[in-house]
Amino acid sequence: MTQTFLLLAAVGSAALIATAAAAQTAPASGEVSEVVVTAQRLDAARSSVEPALGATSYVLPQAFIENLPAGANTQLNQVILQAPGAAQDSFGQLHIRGDHANIQYRLNNVILPEGLQVFGQTLSPRLASNIDLITGALPAQYGLRTAGIINITTKSGFKDEGEASVYGGSHGLIEPAVEYGGSWGRNSAFGSLSYTGTDVGIESPDGRGTPIHDHSDQVQGFGYFDHIIDDQSRVSFIVGTSQESFQIPNVSGLHPDAGFSVNGVTDFASQDLNQRQRETTSYAIGAYQVSTERFTGQASVFARTSQLTYTPDVTGELLFNSIAQAAKKTDLSLGTQIEGVYKLSDAHTIRGGVIISADRTTSDTNSQVFEVDDNGAQLGAGPITILDNSKANAWTYSAYLQDEWKLADTLTLNYGLRFDQLDAFRSENQLSPRVNLVWTPLDGTTLHAGYARYFTPPPFELIASTAVAKFVGTSAEQPGTRNDLPLSERDNYFDLGVEQKLAGLTLGVDAYYKKARNLIDEGQFGAPIILTPFNYAKGYAKGVEFSANYVRGPLSAYANLAVSQAKGEDIISSQFNFDPGDLAYIRDHFIYLDHDQTITASAGAAYKTEGGGRISADLIYGSGLRRDGEVPNGSKVPSYVQVNLGASQALNLAGGLTIRADIINLFDETYEIRDGTGIGVGAPQFGPRRGVYAGVSKTF
């Protein structure tokens, strides 16, 4: 019911915005100008509450998104892949600086709680006026998820304008979308709604351009409302939803060979499997901001509900995998975030905040398995049913205080403390010091160095108290029964970087080292495509990133290169999922993490013509994620490069009409993201094959 209500609210927001904008008498131009200036000042004040302050920040503005081949039709993860140190994985996952996930998303600096998203993208680039990826030694206001902070500044609606578009092409893609923003008096609002239908909902398992049984339907809705109370305060509200369904793709020509029978049925063609997964997420945020000459504060409340449902092909999965498991997981997260900044003096700026959140998760599974004898031979003509259900609650409490101390005109020290308390499957806490030094010795030159102590709980919504003993004596019996609950990761993180601006060119280099205890990783174990967290007793990640950005006149270009290494030793939680031989080897050997990629690169360029045209190109390169070799994760899949091209043209005679054409994977390179081997790796996945797409959009 909650998800349906939020979906209707998001869908209706665009219509309500348009109706209100049309119904209101336009205010005098002087009043509009004053309101816009006030909004811009409040936006700047809001940003001052949580600046990067010595961390590494990479900015992806709306113009950057529009320059990409496919533009705003690009999925959010593909936009982030153009940033330094971001590596792609299967299921649309991102890895920042050698971490598995560990990314915190924010809307207008307010935390968006994690959900049960595996395949889909909850957020669309259509809602963003700016995207910041913040990494490195983070200041004290950032915690719990620390590999990267993705802060999206949403479109506000102070420009009365809308756009309707339709985009599609190869592999059954069709994507209609509409967005509208408007203002009246001291109010502004923005809404967007899009639908994506595609026959490549999940990466191909066999390299086909259009896999067997891989259709997906995805709806994303977003609404924003902002009311300026007076020159010093405002309230804002956000609602959004993502409703997505996926077929699990098949490979052809395989037949079961495990020797099982389902009431006399012993054969099943792999291309006929019908496995499906549905993922739904809805969220809401309300915020009150006040800003005076010396003080800016924002109090926010946030909520997110998500559900993941996996529906198996019972007969087929029993014959192929010896288990068919229907799974349903739900998670509800509620919280509040109260933060402020006070300019104590010309030399000292104090920042502090409190964040409290609560989670409730349920996990229900219905497993069909065979009873077996001591030799593993089937007993009985058909399967038996095992139910394994659980519920759990979690609370997190966080508080921080820090001082931005201006030691000199060119030297700033930001230092602080953060405390985090977790009460969930375990009760854990940590006091974390943070310190960053920023030096600008020359005009255009910035050096930063920082240290951060991190406390990262395992993703609570993915933990389920699986009753391993229930499956003993069945075809789903695990090689072991030990199942220690995951622990929070604790890190010492060091970062050093320099940035140089020369006219339209910005060059940067950044080096980092993370030493971890209870390092968190995630794996896909079993048929339901649900990730499970586990810990290495210790681990590390280290690397160096190079970046270059150029903007001058109609030409913009960028290039990024990252070299990294991430390893872990001794798996100490969720052990029943692993082969005993692998556990024994990893117990006293560092191995590469499955998502480690030695070299990651991205580059792109765009040129705007005088006649309203744009041509663009981008690429991503990966040296290959890990796969098994002589030891677990001891080898890697082959390297790859994917090149995309795009072109668009505004037709001024048609009154705001723009047409575009794009080619994704120009050279049709067939490359593996995963080959199906490695610690916690599921089926093989391939990158997208060549696709040709076209679209038309109309502003109004």
Q: Which residues of 543-562 are buried (b: 16+ CB within 10 A; e: fewer)?
A: bbbebbbbbeeeebbbbbbb
**Which pLDDT score is estimated for 529?**
67
User: In sequence order, which residues have a C-beta less than 8 Å from that of residue 375 and are 6 or more positions away?
Assistant: none
CA distances from 382 to 182, 275, 314, 325, 367 (A): 61, 20, 11, 15, 13
**Which pLDDT score is estimated for 642?**
97
Rounded average pLDDT over 48-53: 74
pLDDT-derived band at 19 (thresholds 50, 70, 90) equals very low
pLDDT tens-digit profile of 579-612? 899 999 999 999 999 999 999 999 999 999 988 8
Q: In this structure, are strands 555-571 and 591-592 parallel, antiparallel, or unpaired?
A: antiparallel
Asked whether the beta carbons of 258 and 276 are under 8 A apart, the reply is: no
C-alpha radius of gyration, the chain, whole number = 26
Rounded average pLDDT over 550-572: 96
Asked whether the beta carbons of 404 and 412 are under 8 A apart, the reply is: yes
**Which pLDDT score is estimated for 532?**
84
Structure tokens given for 231: 């020159």
Structure tokens given for 133: 């990826």
Structure tokens given for 117: 């998203």
What is the pLDDT of the chain when averaged over all its residues? Answer: 89
What distance in Å separates the CA atoms of residue 391 and residue 387, rounded to the nearest whole number? 14
CA distances from 288 to 47, 131, 333 (A): 14, 22, 20
What distance in Å separates the CA atoms of residue 147 and residue 514, rounded to the nearest whole number? 10
pLDDT tens-digit profile of 138-165? 999 999 999 999 999 998 877 788 999 9
What is the H or E stretch that residue 22 is in?
helix 2-23
Domain boundaries, the chain: 2-699
**Which pLDDT score is estimated for 191?**
95
pLDDT higher than threshold 60 for residue 198: yes
pLDDT tens-digit profile of 504-544? 899 999 999 999 999 999 888 765 567 788 999 999 999 99
A 10 A CB-CB count for 472 gives 10
Distance of CA 441 to the CA centre of its chain: 36
| Type of residue at 699 | T
What distance in Å separates the CA atoms of residue 643 and residue 155, rounded to the nearest whole number? 29
Residue 505, helix vs strand vs coil: strand
A 10 A CB-CB count for 375 gives 5
pLDDT-derived band at 685 (thresholds 50, 70, 90) equals very high
Higher pLDDT, 51 or 440: 440
Instruction: Give the residue from 140, 159, 125, 152 showing the smallest Cα distance to 39.
Output: 159
Q: What is the DSSP letter of 676?
A: S
pLDDT tens-digit profile of 445-463? 999 999 999 999 998 877 7
Least confident of 29-33, 186-190, 383-387, 614-618: 29-33
Q: How many CA atoms lie within 13 A of 188 on its CB side?
A: 18
**Which pLDDT score is estimated for 527?**
57
What is the H or E stretch that residue 3 is in?
helix 2-23
Q: Please give, one letter per residue, the 3-state secondary structure of 173-232.
A: EEEEEEEEEEEECCEEEEEEEEEEEECCCCCECCCCCCCECCCEEEEEEEEEEEEEEECC
pLDDT higher than threshold 70 for residue 465: no
pLDDT-derived band at 466 (thresholds 50, 70, 90) equals low
pLDDT higher than threshold 60 for residue 622: yes
**Which pLDDT score is estimated for 572?**
96
pLDDT higher than threshold 50 for residue 24: no
CA distances from 201 to 118, 248, 343, 670 (A): 12, 8, 50, 17
| Type of residue at 145 | R
pTM for the model? 0.90
Phi, psi angles (nearest 5°) of residue 365: -130, 145
What is the H or E stretch that residue 80 is in?
helix 76-80
A 10 A CB-CB count for 88 gives 22
pLDDT higher than threshold 70 for residue 168: yes
What distance in Å separates the CA atoms of residue 367 and residue 481, rounded to the nearest whole number? 18
What distance in Å separates the CA atoms of residue 700 and residue 697, rounded to the nearest whole number? 10
**Which pLDDT score is estimated for 29?**
46
186 Rama class: left (phi>0) / alpha (psi -120 to 50) / beta: alpha
What distance in Å separates the CA atoms of residue 252 and residue 270, rounded to the nearest whole number? 6
Asked whether the beta carbons of 218 and 244 are under 8 A apart, the reply is: yes
**Which pLDDT score is estimated for 483?**
84
What distance in Å separates the CA atoms of residue 82 and residue 68, rounded to the nearest whole number? 10
For 240-290, give the DSSP string: EEEEEEEEPPB-SS----S---BTTB----GGG---EEEEEEEEEEEEEEE
User: In sequence order, which residues have a C-beta less than 8 Å from that of residue 544 and are 6 or more positions away?
Assistant: 509, 510, 511, 512, 562, 563, 564
Instruction: Give the residue from 466, 424, 459, 489 showing the smallest Cα distance to 575.
Output: 466
Rounded average pLDDT over 475-487: 85
Residue 514, helix vs strand vs coil: strand
For domain 2-699, give its CATH number from 3.30.9.10, 2.40.170.20, 3.20.20.370, 3.40.47.10.
2.40.170.20
Which percentage of the chain shows pLDDT scores above 90? Answer: 75
Asked whether the beta carbons of 103 and 364 are under 8 A apart, the reply is: no
Torsion of CA 678, 680, 683, 686, to 10 degrees: -70
**Which pLDDT score is estimated for 18?**
33
pLDDT tens-digit profile of 650-674? 987 767 899 999 999 999 999 999 9
A 10 A CB-CB count for 174 gives 12
Which percentage of the chain shows pLDDT scores above 70? Answer: 93
pLDDT-derived band at 45 (thresholds 50, 70, 90) equals confident
CA distances from 536 to 34, 143, 533, 700 (A): 56, 21, 10, 54
**Which pLDDT score is estimated for 33?**
58
Higher pLDDT, 130 or 2: 130
